[in-house]
Amino acid sequence: MTNRYAVVLAAGQGTRMKSKLYKVLHPVCGKPMVQHVVDQLNTLELNELITVVGFGAEKVQDQLGDASHYVVQEEQLGTGHAVLQAEDILADKEGTTVVVCGDTPLLTGETLQKLLDHHDSEQAKATILTAHADDPNGYGRVIRGGNGQVERIVEQKDASDEEQAIQEINTGTYCFDNQALFQALQNVSNDNVQGEYYLPDVVEILKNESETISAYQTPDFSESLGVNDRVALSKAETLMKERINERHMRAGVTIQDPTNTYIGPDVKIGQDVSVYPGTVLEGETVIEEDAVIGPHSTIKDCFVGKASVVKQSVATNSRIGERVQIGPFAHIRPESSLGDDVKVGNFVEVKKASFGDGSKASHLSYIGDAEVGSGVNIGCGTITVNYDGHNKFLTSIEDDAFIGCNSNLIAPVTVGKGAYVAAGSTINKDVPAEALSIARSRQTNKEGYATKFKSIKKD
C-alpha cells in the first residue's frame, strides 16, 4: 500500500473570528475544531500526521498532544507557504499527502476515505474535494475547462464576476502525490490580491505540467463548511449537533427535542436512554441503557449506570452507578462515586465523596470529602464540615448509619457502622458503631410562660 501522510493547516490567527482564542481552538459541540479534524484524519491509516502551527502554537500543541507532529509557520504567508513548512519531513517521501484546513470541523473520515479512493483510482497527482454551494461566497471557486477537467482554483478576492457566479467550491481539502506537491510548491508565487502563497495554485501548476488533476465532489456541502467567523461557527455547531443527535436516535436513543439537546461528539449512549430538553452531555461521558437524563441536566466526563435518572442537575467527572436517582437540582462535583440505588435529591451537593450502594441524601445537604458506606441515610440539612480555612478533612460514615436532620459532622470524624446521630447534632468526636450520639443542648419547657407573657399590658 502507498504511504499516506496528512498535513493540517492551523497556523492562522483567524482575524475574522474577532477573538482572543485562536480560531482552530474554538469548540464545536464542545470539541476544538482542529481536534475534530485530527480525529477524523486518524480514522485513515496514516504514516504521519503533521500540523502546521503558528498563532497560538503552544495552545494548539497542548490540545492535540501526541496525536500529531508539529511544524511552525513563523509568518502566515498563505496556505501554500504553510504546507511548505512540512518540506523537511515530507518532501522526499513517496506516497499520498492529504491536506486539510483546521477550520473545517464537519469533514468526516468517510469522505476523506472516498477522496483518497478517488485519487488512487484516477491515478491523479492532485485531487480536490469540492462541493456545490448554494452560497459560494468566501470560498475559492473551481474552474473547469471545456472538457469538464479541473484547471485551477480562483480565490473569491481574485475572481471575476463570471467566476464568482460558479457554485462549485474548493473545500480546502486535497490529496496530492507527495513529491509532486512539494515540487509544485516551489513555483507558487504571491502575485495575487492578498499577496499570499496560495496552496490551490499548485493545481494550476501541475495542470500546466500536463499532470492528471481530479476532483471529487462531496454531495453534502455541510461537510465542507469552513469556519472563518462566528456566524459560520454557529452554523457548524447546529450541523454537528444535528449529526450527533441523529446518530444516537438511529441507535435507539430517544431525544425528545433534538434542537435543544447538546451532545458532545465522544459521548456514548446506550439503547433506550431518554434525553429530555436542555440537556448538555460533554467530554467522555458514558450513559448506559435505560437511563433518563434531563430535562436541563449538564453532565461532563461522567459514567452513568443503567436505568439511573438525572433530572435538572449538574454532574462532573464522577461515576454514577445503576438505578441511581439524582435531582432535581443536585450538584455532583468532581471525583465523586455513587454506588447502585443511591439517591441524591434536591439541593444536595456532593464533592469528592463516595456513596455505597443504597445510600441516600434526599434533601438539602453538603457532602464533601466524605466516604459514605452502603445503606446510609443522611437526613435533610446534613453538612460535612470539611474545611477549616486551610485544609480539607475527611468524614467517614460507615454502613447503615443514620444521620438525623440538620446535623453538622465536623471533620475529621467517623460515624461508626449502624450508629445514629440525633437530629440537630454537631458531631466533633467519633461515634462508635451502633451508638446513638446526641450533641445539642437539652430542651427546657417553661409551663404557662406564653400566657403570662401575653397578659402583660403594653403602655
Residues that bind ligand UD1 (CB under 6 A): 9-12, 24, 52, 54, 73, 76-79, 81-82, 101-104, 139-140, 153, 155, 169-172, 198-200, 226, 228
- What is the smallest separation between the CB atom of 183 and ligand UD1, expressed in angstroms? 18
Question: In this complex, which beta carbon is closest to ligand UD1, that of residue 102 or of residue 379?
Answer: 102
Question: In this complex, which beta carbon is closest to ligand UD1, that of residue 11 or of residue 315?
Answer: 11
Partner interacting with residue 82 (select from ligand UD1, Ca ion, none; CB below 5-8 Å by kind)? ligand UD1
Compute the distance between CA of residue 33 and CA of residue 11 in angstroms, rounded to an integer.
Answer: 13
Evaluate whether 334 touches 316 at the Cβ level (below 8 Å): yes
- What is the smallest separation between the CB atom of 87 and ligand UD1, expressed in angstroms? 14
Q: What separation in angstroms does the CA of 95 have from each of 4, 47, 120, 127, 267?
A: 6, 10, 11, 14, 35
Cβ burial of 271 (10 Å; 0-12, 13-18, 19+) is exposed
Compute the distance between CA of residue 71 and CA of residue 323 in angstroms, rounded to an integer.
Answer: 50
Partner interacting with residue 324 (select from ligand UD1, Ca ion, none; CB below 5-8 Å by kind)? none
Question: In this complex, which beta carbon is closest to ligand UD1, that of residue 72 or of residue 251?
Answer: 72
- What is the smallest separation between the CB atom of 39 and Ca ion, expressed in angstroms? 19
Handedness of CA 229, 232, 237, 238 (dihedral sign): positive
Question: CA dihedral in degrees (123, 124, 128, 129; nearest 10)?
Answer: 0
Partner interacting with residue 269 (select from Ca ion, ligand UD1, none; CB below 5-8 Å by kind)? none
Q: Which residues bind Ca ion (CB under 5 A)?
A: 103, 226, 228
Question: In this complex, which beta carbon is closest to ligand UD1, that of residue 221 or of residue 262?
Answer: 221
Peptide bond into 328 cis (omega under 30): yes
Active-site residue flag, 132 = no
Compute the distance between CA of residue 293 and CA of residue 337 in angstroms, rounded to an integer.
Answer: 18
- What is the smallest separation between the CB atom of 76 and ligand UD1, expressed in angstroms? 3
Pick the catalytic residue from 69, 119, 331, 363: 363
Partner interacting with residue 368 (select from Ca ion, ligand UD1, none; CB below 5-8 Å by kind)? none
Q: What separation in angstroms does the CA of 244 have from each of 85, 240, 386?
A: 35, 6, 41
- Tell me which residue has cell 451537593: 349
Evaluate whether 316 touches 330 at the Cβ level (below 8 Å): no
- What is the smallest separation between the CB atom of 277 and ligand UD1, expressed in angstroms? 33
Question: In this complex, which beta carbon is closest to ligand UD1, that of residue 108 or of residue 362?
Answer: 108
Partner interacting with residue 77 (select from Ca ion, ligand UD1, none; CB below 5-8 Å by kind)? ligand UD1
Concatenating the DSSP letter of every residue in 190-205 gives --STT----TTHHHHH
- What is the smallest separation between the CB atom of 41 and ligand UD1, expressed in angstroms? 14
> Which residue minimizes CB distance to Ca ion?
226
Compute the distance between CA of residue 338 and CA of residue 344 in angstroms, rounded to an integer.
Answer: 9
Partner interacting with residue 127 (select from Ca ion, ligand UD1, none; CB below 5-8 Å by kind)? none
Question: In this complex, which beta carbon is closest to ligand UD1, that of residue 155 or of residue 400?
Answer: 155
136 three-class SS: coil
The residues annotated as belonging to the active site are 363
